[in-house]
């Protein structure tokens, strides 16, 4: 009897825990995954410049290219109308699409400039730092305007 009750409780817990997840194939799930990759890549680049991670020029360039490619991806996963799922995006994403798209293009331009800066030899923080800062500023500006926390 105890094993049967324990099985029922365990099954109920597993079922409830699955309810709160985001479908990784949904637009929300896909853009969240891209944004997480962008964050990780950007943190690695910033970490190299700020001494948290040993600087490796070729890896830095590789990361800049990856970040640039990723920066073009999340926007296609914002549907034309707001989803029912809980999202960190403010309603302004859908109400002010022109501004949102403008900020997306600003980020894409900044990551493109970072790729160019990352290919200049020899690698110098004085070349790379401002380019990384421009990417970070573009991310931050969009978050302040369109993210709900």
Annotated binding site for heme c: 139, 142-143
Query: What residues form the annotated binding site?
Result: 139, 142-143
Reference 28, options 68, 71, 67, 76; nearest CA is 76
Contacts of 67 (CB under 8 A, 6+ apart): 38, 41, 42, 45, 111, 114, 135
C-beta atoms surrounding 67 within 10 Å: 25
Helix (H, G, I), strand (E, B) or coil at 55: coil
Contacts of 24 (CB under 8 A, 6+ apart): 30, 33
């Amino acid at each position: 009897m105890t094993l049967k009750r324990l099985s029922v409780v365990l099954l109920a817990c597993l079922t409830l825990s699955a309810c709160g997840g985001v479908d990784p194939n949904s637009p929300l799930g896909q853009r969240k995954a891209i944004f997480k990759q962008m964050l990780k890549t950007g943190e690695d680049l910033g970490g190299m410049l700020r001494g948290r991670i040993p600087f490796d020029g070729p890896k830095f360039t590789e990361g800049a290219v990856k970040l640039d490619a990723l920066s073009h991806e999340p926007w296609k996963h914002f549907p034309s109308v707001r989803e029912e799922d809980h999202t960190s995006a403010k309603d302004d994403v859908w109400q002010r699409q022109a501004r949102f798209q403008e900020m997306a293009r600003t980020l894409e331009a900044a990551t493109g400039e970072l790729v160019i800066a990352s290919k200049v030899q020899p690698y110098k923080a004085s070349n790379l730092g401002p380019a990384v800062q421009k990417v970070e500023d573009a991310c931050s500006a969009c978050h302040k305007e369109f993210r709900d926390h």
